Amino acid sequence: MSLVEHLKELRRRLLIALAAMLVGTILGYIWYDASVLGTPSLGDILKEPYCKIPAEDRLGGELGDCRFIATAPFDMFMLRLKVGFLAGLVLSAPVWFGQLWGFITPGLKKNEKRWTRGFASVATLLFVIGAVLAYFVLSFGLEFLMGIADNTQISALSGIAYLSFALGLLLIFGVSFEVPLVTVMLNLAGILPYQVLKEKRRIIIMFLFIFAAFMTPGQDPVSMVILAVSLCLMMEIATQFARINDRRRAKKAGLSPDAFLTDDLDDEEGSHIGAAAPLGSDGGLESPTPVAPSRPVNASRKERFRDDSGRAPGEGTGYGNSYGSGDLDDIL
């Protein structure tokens, strides 16, 4: 296809994706305040973590009321529109993702299509798992934050503020769960071996806790600990995958499965220098060759040129007897 034909195809696929998003946004806008097929409305699902806060810690809770407040005339409309748009993105994901896949597929080879399809599926699954976990963590984080000064304050959240906090938490959890997948991709590409992950395990754990402390919205300890522990567990799974992959790669190269691994050593212990040996022509390990003993510098010429059998040049051949020792030294 020519450049103009590529651009026309891109425009057509973008229009289809935008139309699907528009239809999804309309459905999400309607679903916000209406129950569909017996399922709770989108607004009820959104505010459920907020309603789990103790009644005495939120405005109207003692009367059995659980609603957000609006501080501007357009707050309720904008909240419903934003939630509907986000729901439309999710509902129309099969359409716009299919259009994206259809545009890039002709430029990929068969094995590249397989790898791209696999990583895209795993990335989507990890993001959904992170978002679902964040939804359940949201109620614990809100309960901690809203109960800090319950004797002097009472919570009355606006819908926009609550939506920003909830979406931020879902997005951070979802994106963070992609870190182990990136680690696996780097290992498969040969950039990040298992030995590096093992040696830097403590630094990685510390970095993940610092990352969770800075990136979690609200910085409440409950959300931070849950995110950090989840990331540490998933990074350990990725590390063990790298270990298995490196063993498979070493075995395929004709080396010992443990050629690049030192699992028998402690994290603070280094390998011994004498344990290493040069590689042979067949890929195996050869025994070390001893170094020949040194000879004194002031030895005679004939002694310095003796081979391993102790024979000097010309000895036993009949050619070296015609020269004297001094004559030979002068010639050399």
Burial class from Cβ neighbours inside 10 Å (0-12, 13-18, 19+) for residue 211 reads middle
Q: What are the 10-residue block averages of pLDDT along the chain, 332 residues in total?
A: 87 94 93 83 87 78 77 87 90 88 84 84 90 88 75 78 87 90 89 91 93 82 89 93 90 68 50 47 55 61 52 52 50 53
Q: What is the pLDDT of residue 70?
A: 85
**pTM of the prediction?**
0.68
Task: Tell me the C-alpha distance between 15 and 145, whole Å.
Answer: 43
Q: What is the pLDDT of residue 288?
A: 59
Using alpha carbons, list the distances in angstroms from residue 149 to 146, 152, 245: 7, 6, 52
Other Cβ atoms closer than 10 A to 89: 15
Pair 127, 174: CB distance under 8 Å: yes
For the segment 183-207, what is each residue's pLDDT rounded down to a tens digit?
999 998 888 999 999 999 999 999 9
Q: What is the pLDDT of residue 129?
A: 92
> What are the boundaries of each domain within the chain?
3-253
Q: What is the pLDDT of residue 294?
A: 67
For the segment 156-174, what is each residue's pLDDT rounded down to a tens digit?
788 888 888 888 888 899 9
136 alpha-carbon distance from chain centroid: 23
Pair 103, 15: CB distance under 8 Å: no
